[in-house]
Amino acid sequence: MPVAYVVVTVITIAVNAGMAVADFARAEFVLANSAEVGLPQSWLPTLATLKVAGAVGLAVGLLGVRVIGIAAAVGLVLFFVGAMAAHFRARVFHNIAFPGTYLALAIASLGLVIAQ
């Protein structure tokens, strides 16, 4: 198993799990960002659950179930494309680096798991 695949995927798992915790806890920065992009607070638990599912799926992929890792990475790519779209739609660019970074990590994880 290539080191790059493991490192990038573990980082992707960690950031998504961390953000899911912040979403579930309704952290102040999460609520502020959600309000800025016009996201109803009622969506936060669902979005957090999707992040957790992606992180767990990537971990399962690391453990050898490649198809689950691929599905999880695809799901996270789509999730963060949606997050980027929400930022662009709302014209909120001051913090676009965050969903952009998460999208880049998801894309890198997808590319690396496919290369396995």
In sequence order, the 6+-apart residues with CB closer than 8 A to the CB of 21 are 48
| Length of the chain counted residue by residue | 116
Q: How many CB atoms sit inside 10 A of residue 50's CB?
A: 18
Written as six digits, the tokens of 21 are 């915790």
Does the pTM surpass 0.85? The reply is: yes
Q: Are 5 and 114 in contact (CB under 8 A)?
A: no
Residue type at position 1: M
Q: How confident is the prediction along the chain (116 residues), in pLDDT tens digits per residue?
A: 799 999 999 999 999 999 999 999 999 999 999 999 999 999 999 999 999 999 999 999 999 999 999 999 999 999 999 999 999 999 999 999 999 999 999 999 999 999 98
Residue-wise pLDDT for 5-18, tens only, equals 999 999 999 999 99
